[in-house]
Amino acid sequence: MSDTREIQEKLEELRRQIRYHDTLYYALDAPQISDAEYDALFRELVREEEAHPEWVTPDSPTQRVGFAPLEKFAPFEHAAPMLSLENAMSEEEVREFDRRVRKLLGHGDKIEYVVEPKMDGLALEILYEKGRLTGAGTRGDGYTGEDVTPNVKTIRAIPWRLQSPPGGAPPPERLAVRGEVYIDKKDFEALNRNREAAGELPFANPRNAAAGSLRQLDSSITASRPLRVFFYGVGAVEGAEFPTHWDLLQTLRAWGLAVNSKSQVCAGIEEAIGFFRRLTDERGDLPYDIDGLVIKVNRMDWQRQLGEKSRSPRWAIAYKFSADLAPSRILDILVQVGRTGAVTPVAVLEPVFVGGVTVQRATLHNEDEIERKDIRIGDRVWVRRAGDVIPEVVEVEVSRRTGDEVPFRMPAQCPSCGGEVVRLPDESVHRCLNRNCPAQIKAAIWHFCSRNGMDIEGLGRKNISLLVDEGLIQSVADLYTLRVEDLEGLPGWGRKSAQNLVDAIAGSKNPELADFIYALGIYHVGSHVAQLLASHLGRFEAVRAATREELERIPGVGEIVAYSITRYFSHPENQKLMDGLLAAGITVKPAQTSSHAAEEEDPFWKSKTVVFTGALASLTRQEAGKRVEARGAKVTESVSKKTDIVVAGKDAGSKRAKAEKLGIPILDEEEFLKRIQ
């Protein structure tokens, strides 16, 4: 045999071995060699191909490094529509799905289902012709996606050639196979560490990282990311038939395509529900993120008989975890001091993605709640974003305790000032009673400067803390005495940044009445109540002088709120603060009173509860909220059955999904703007 033939055969044998071990690792989850041995094989192939570049084949494993960058993605037409799945959020909804399936089939006995973990990734369709990868596209609108073929070819978990298993069915003439691209949790953490070390922003969560990695115009970037895939079905197939969905999954695996090993056949819906319960318990320990379970009728002829609705198949349903619930572990419990002196215990968590964000801290509310839930440092817990905003610990997994968990006790001294921490009669919270506590001062100043208040740019928590610690401010009135020369010598401050802050403070001296009321931080007075006070009383002097009886006559201001307002303005320290602010040059704009406001009330918005979600292009959400409040609406943060309208801007997330589930009307930005013209 010639040397040339020997070298070519050696190259092909190395490629065959690498493809074989890729299949074992990614598709069968049964590696036979170590990572080091695999890397040695790969390096040997690289050396041989570098020595003989004329024999490098396009489908060699070494070619998964990227291709020429694209200017834009071409369209990718799906072989059959990639439909979305109907969602179920409770056991009863899953049982209703089963009843519906049996009724449509005219089948009274148990239906056999296949259940598969629902990956939290990016849907993808890959086209194989005669066993070779020829195209790949994202889901897009379900009919046309983006052609990401060059990127998909860089992913090691996706074979360029399908296998022909011994004694099994060979790859068909044409196969449009569907899967979910994802990134393992450990790989995601390593990816973010590398990005931070390189001075780049970390990804928010594995799903975003996977989606962003696959949709790169430069495929070499995709090649550098640790993408994986699980396949779950086909859009079209020519040259093969499958009596059941389970047969399909096993055949895909035999062809070298990764299928989730957690998938299983269930004899009836109750068995599927039991699997969901077990999966819920195991969710936190899985190496990847899932957001529920997919339940599919197993028999293919029954799938065809059931058919599809306009947007989803009748033979499958996604049984989803609660969108705002996720498992984590309590690393520590700290306390933080708010502007009213409330001392709140806070759990420090192992980072967990829940409700659209990565959460590392969660409120524990108060000592009673900690005792009621028996929360301890070291506990495995379930975390929820209450109202889509504030993370909280919902439940402790007591069964997973090791005995090393540590109970929590509220400190007797304030962690900020060392003052006494007490629990007042009829209150569930502990408080620091020192009115000069630095933590309370900082929190009150931050509230005053916040976007819904005086909206002073450049005064975030870090800068406020610095100014208080340096003794430059002790109250919000002190902000208006700051000079450039006071600031420019501080760590990290120059003359320009100092001048910018002084100018921003000066620019806040003519606030809207509602904004000023909110900024004062009066107990029980949020932005909605502040708007009510402004629209009914009109001038700050009237708000300051109002009696409890006058305040209680305002719709939406009850006895407790009225008492809190009058108590605030009657306190000598607060009177001194008001006088100081006015003397500093603050002139509060008068507001349109209720007699005029009634003329502005719009029947469409009047008495409606409105929630904003996502980003609006034409105005801020705060401005939009004020516009609808002026027309008689109430703006809240969370979606519930009491919500009347949801206004959804760009990248609206869990709030929109919840509104859709509850059947609440949703306005996009264009419709919203028409309604407030």
Low-confidence spans in the chain with pLDDT less than 70: 1-2, 23-30, 35, 58, 63-70, 204, 310, 322-324, 355-356, 386-390, 426, 593-601, 677
Q: Which residues are known to be catalytic?
A: 118
Residue 250 lies in a domain: yes
> Is 658 strand, coil or helix?
helix
- Of 544, 565, 595, which marks where a domain is finished? 595
- Answer yes or no: do 198 and 279 share one domain: yes
Residue 389: DSSP 8-state: T
Whole-angstrom distance, CA of residue 626 vs CA of residue 633:
9
Which residues have CB under 8 Å from 2's CB, separation 6+?
none
- Answer yes or no: do 401 and 446 share one domain: no
- Position 677 scores a pLDDT of 67
Q: Which two tokens stand for residue 646?
A: 């949801």
> Is 599 strand, coil or helix?
helix
- Position 368 scores a pLDDT of 84
- Position 300 scores a pLDDT of 94
- Answer yes or no: do 383 and 396 share one domain: yes
- Position 28 scores a pLDDT of 60
CB atoms within 10 A of CB 593: 15
On whether the CB atoms of residues 230 and 182 are closer than 8 A, the answer is: yes
Whole-angstrom distance, CA of residue 458 vs CA of residue 426:
39
Whole-angstrom distance, CA of residue 549 vs CA of residue 547:
5
Is the pTM of the predicted complex or chain greater than 0.75? no
Residue 74 lies in a domain: no
Residue 137: strand pairing partners: 125, 147
Whole-angstrom distance, CA of residue 589 vs CA of residue 435:
30
The CATH number of residue 19's host domain is 1.10.287.610
Q: Which two tokens stand for residue 615?
A: 């980003």
- Of 560, 595, 630, which marks where a domain is finished? 595
- Answer yes or no: do 193 and 119 share one domain: yes
Which has the closest alpha carbon to 429: 363, 510, 332?
363
- Answer yes or no: do 42 and 135 share one domain: no
Residue 240: DSSP 8-state: -
On whether the CB atoms of residues 652 and 614 are closer than 8 A, the answer is: yes
The residue to which tokens 């190496």 are assigned: 287
- Position 296 scores a pLDDT of 96
Residue 117 lies in a domain: yes
Residue 539: DSSP 8-state: S
- Answer yes or no: do 267 and 147 share one domain: yes
Assign 3-state DSSP to the chain and report helix, strand, coil percentages, each to 5. Answer: 40, 20, 40
Residue 73 lies in a domain: no
- Answer yes or no: do 386 and 447 share one domain: no
Domain count, the chain: 6
- Position 259 scores a pLDDT of 94
Domain holding 485, by residue range, is 438-506
The CATH number of residue 467's host domain is 1.10.150.20
- Answer yes or no: do 110 and 50 share one domain: no
Predicted confidence (pLDDT) per residue in 60-88, tens digit = 777 665 556 667 889 999 888 888 888 88
Residue 359 lies in a domain: yes
- Position 400 scores a pLDDT of 85
- Answer yes or no: do 588 and 612 share one domain: no
- Of 595, 625, 656, which marks where a domain is finished? 595
Q: Which two tokens stand for residue 336?
A: 């933080």
